Structure 1
Amino acid sequence: MNEQLFQQLVTSIKQGGPILRSQKKASRKRTHEWPDAQSVREKLGLTQAQFAALIGTSVRTLQNWEQGHRRPEGTARALLRIAERHPQAVLEALHA
């Protein structure tokens, strides 16, 4: 690592300390909207068992998403987002 990049990293860490200790507010905040698994499933007209089988997850995992105990991550989150916007495309692709 070159010296300039190292100094940028050090500066960033020093700026982050007060934010982590709640002594200073972050200059920007990112929020992530999580797809609503239950509304996606209902939009597709599937039972929990059918939907879980379709997307390759367990019914229990789906129930945890729908009840808000857990959030879908990674590819599951991406698939739910696509299904939310293009339900027929997902049904066609996964039933093929």
Structure 2
Amino acid sequence: MSIFNELKNSLEEAVDIKTQKRQADRVTRFEVADVKQIRAILAVSQAEFAQAMGTSVDTIKSWENRRRNPTGLAAKVLATIQDNPAFYRELAEH
């Protein structure tokens, strides 16, 4: 099968799923950490949180306003902090 036909079939499948003519074989959901809530629980400022995360205050603001989403290692660290707030204190000490 040519790449064109594979793409065409994929797009037709996507349309069928969107119009509910067919169920999706799988659904992937990504949960993005709520940075503002995490900071509120920790009772730390944006500047303190940015320093502990090794990023800028502007990045923290972007995450909190959902203009950008944390990715890669930052997303994993935030998920860890969300599950275990005590981890933040260890991170902030280094």
Normalising by the smaller structure, the TM-score range is: 0.7 to 0.9
* Equivalent AA in structure 2 for residue 77 of structure 1: A
List gaps (5 residues or longer) in structure 2. Answer: 18-23
Paired residues, what number? 87
User: 1:17 maps to which residue?
Assistant: 11
User: 1:78 maps to which residue?
Assistant: 76
Deviations 1:8-32 (A, max 9, x none): x9x9656423134x2x213222111
User: 1:3 maps to which residue?
Assistant: none
Q: Moved runs in structure 1, 4+ residues, more than 6 A?
A: none
For 1:93 and 1:49, the matched residues in 2 are separated by: 14
* Equivalent AA in structure 1 for residue 82 of structure 2: E
* Equivalent AA in structure 2 for residue 19 of structure 1: E
Equivalences for residues 1-96 of structure 1 within 5 A: 15-20=9-14, 22=15, 24-25=16-17, 26-96=24-94
List gaps (5 residues or longer) in structure 1. Answer: 1-6
TM-score, with structure 2 as normaliser: 0.77
Q: CA deviation at 1:89?
A: 2.3
For 1:93 and 1:37, the matched residues in 2 are separated by: 15
Deviations 1:21-49 (A, max 9, x none): x2x21322211110001111111111000
For 1:46 and 1:77, the matched residues in 2 are separated by: 19
Percent of counterpart pairs with the same letter? 29
C-alpha RMSD over aligned residues = 2.2
